[in-house]
Amino acid sequence: MSSAQKPTWILSGFGDEIDPDPKIQAAVMLSLGASHIEVRSAWGVNVVELDDAQVAELKSILDASGLKVSAVASPIGKVDISLPAAHEVGRLRRIIEVTKALDARYIRMFSYFRAADQSPEDIRDAVMERMTLLAAEAEKAGVILIHENEKDIYGDTPERVLDLLETVNSPALRAAWDNANFVQVGVKPFTDAYAMLRPYLDYLQVKDAIAGSGEVVPTGQGDGQLVETLTALSEDGYSGFASLEPHLAAQHELGGFSGPAAFGEAARAFRSATDAIGITLA
């Protein structure tokens, strides 16, 4: 690939991994050369619970900084499958309002937890019913759901992610790719999943992990085959978002935290890898 063909990716990151205060989030993202931010929470309030005044204040802060929103990192689908289908449809409608208010298009979401005595196959039909309803809401609203391959949800392995995307078969449901999450369920991301899921891949979440322990580490320090994945994406002509989600200080069911210093470490490790491949981050 000649230098003229080198791809440019849009650098973003989960602001609440830096600090609860969106002003600090914005300042750190800008210092790392990012043009966008991914919004999961602000002032310690999850995005689905922000009221209209808080959303307007957040938008004002981001506008003043010059940052745009790459995605709203919602908790949609990060609930037990036993809840009625209408539960997440209602929450998605609110998330769509927030997404539009923030001038964003992508909404990160998940494909449901199950009880300890249930297998993925036991909940498949219920998952597909709910995901089809959610995709229909997104399609109607002109937004795109990006499904994250989170550990312990239905779509945590490549085969079940593919099943989900093929079965729902909606232009409003695409894949958010996370190498570290695949590692945490015993998958070699590039070897086992890349070719299968690349046609659906719209969004890259950046973190690495160690296979034995599942510990999340900066790019290139784990078993997530990130260099192979980034190289293949570059050669495939990917030109979308690369969103930092380092999880270097804490990881829990609704997200994670790194702090400014560790977030910066993760950003530098990622930029070092993309520089070596010839990818420009803007």
From the number of C-beta atoms within 10 Å of its C-beta (0-12, 13-18, 19+), residue 44 rates as exposed
What digits encode the pLDDT tens for the residues 142-151? 999 999 999 9
What is the pLDDT at residue 256?
A: 61
What is the pLDDT at residue 253?
A: 56
Annotate 163-232 with three-state secondary structure. Answer: HHHHHHCCCCEEEEEEHHHHHCCCCCHHHHHHHHHHHHEEEEEECEECCCCCCEECCCCCCCCHHHHHHH
Helix H or strand E segment including 46: strand 45-46
What is the pLDDT at residue 1?
A: 45
3-state DSSP helix/strand/coil % of the chain, to nearest 5: 45, 20, 30
The first and second tokens of residue 116, run together, are 């300890």
Residue 35: pLDDT band (50, 70, 90) is very high
How much is the pTM?
0.95
Which of 40, 51, 43, 41 lies closest to 97 in space, CA to CA?
A: 51
User: Do the strands 68-73 and 250-252 form a parallel or antiparallel pair, or are they unpaired?
Assistant: unpaired
**Average pLDDT, stretch 8-21?**
96
What digits encode the pLDDT tens for the residues 52-80? 999 999 999 999 999 999 999 999 999 99
What digits encode the pLDDT tens for the residues 164-222? 999 999 999 999 999 999 999 999 999 999 999 999 999 999 999 999 999 999 999 99
What is the pLDDT at residue 259?
A: 78
What is the pLDDT at residue 5?
A: 72
Residue 2: pLDDT band (50, 70, 90) is very low
From the number of C-beta atoms within 10 Å of its C-beta (0-12, 13-18, 19+), residue 214 rates as middle
